[in-house]
Structure 1
Amino acid sequence: MQKVDIEKHLSGLRGSESSYPFGPEALVFKVMGKMFALVSQLDDIPRVTLKCAPADGEVLTSQFKSITPGYYMNKRHWITILLTGEVSESMLIELANGSYSLVVSKLTKSKKQELEQI
Structure 2
Amino acid sequence: MDSGALFDWADKAARPRLGVIVDNSFGADWHAYKVGGRVFMLASIVLDHEARVIVKVDPIRAEVLRLQHPDITAGGHRLSKRHWISIAPGSTITRALVETEVRESYRLVQEGLPDQEPSEKKLSERQFQPLARKVALSLPEVSHGRPFVEKLDVYKVGDKVFMIVTDDPNEQIITLKADPQQAQVLRERFDTVTAGRYLDKGHWISVGAGRGITERLVTDLVKTSYRSVVETVSAHDRPKKGGSKKGGS
Tell me, in whole angstroms, the C-alpha distance in 1 between the residues paired with 2:135 and 2:157: 14
The one-letter amino acid paired with 1:75 is K
Describe the SS at the equivalent of 1:110: coil
The runs of at least 4 consecutive aligned structure 1 residues that moved more than 3 Å come to none
Offset of 1:108 from its aligned partner?
Answer: 1.3
- Structure 1 gaps of 5+ residues are none
What is aligned with 1:110? Answer: 236
Preserved contact between residue 48 and residue 83 of structure 1 (Cα < 8 Å): no
Question: Structure 2: any 5+ residue segments left out of the alignment?
Answer: 1-122, 245-249
**TM score, norm. by length of structure 1:** 0.91
Structure 1 residue 86, shift from structure 2 partner: 3.2
Choose the corresponding residue for 2:191, options 28, 42, 65: 65
Return 42-51 or 16-25, whichever deviates more. Answer: 42-51
Q: Secondary structure at the match of 2:130?
A: helix
Match of 2:216 in 1: 90
What letter matches 1:77 in structure 2?
Answer: H
C-alpha distance in structure 2 between counterparts of 1:23 and 1:72, whole Å: 12
Equivalence for 2:201: 75
* Conservation of the 8 A alpha-carbon contact between 1:49 and 1:70: yes
Alignment size in residue pairs? 116
| Equivalent residue number for residue 169 of structure 2 | 43
> How many Å separate the matches in 1 of 2:220 and 2:230?
15
Separation (CA, whole Å) in 2 of partners of 1:88 and 1:95: 11
What percentage of aligned pairs have identical amino acids?
27
Q: Deviations over 1:11-59 (max 9, x none)?
A: 2210100000112111000001000000011233510000011110011
- Structure number with greater Rg is 2
Q: Does 1:7 align with 2:133?
A: yes
Question: Which residue in the other structure is 2:181 paired with?
Answer: 55
Question: Aligned-pair RMSD on alpha carbons?
Answer: 1.4
Equivalent residue number for residue 32 of structure 1: 158
Give me the whole-angstrom Cα distance separating, in 1, the residues matched to 2:163 and 2:140. Answer: 14
- Give the structure with the larger helix fraction: 1
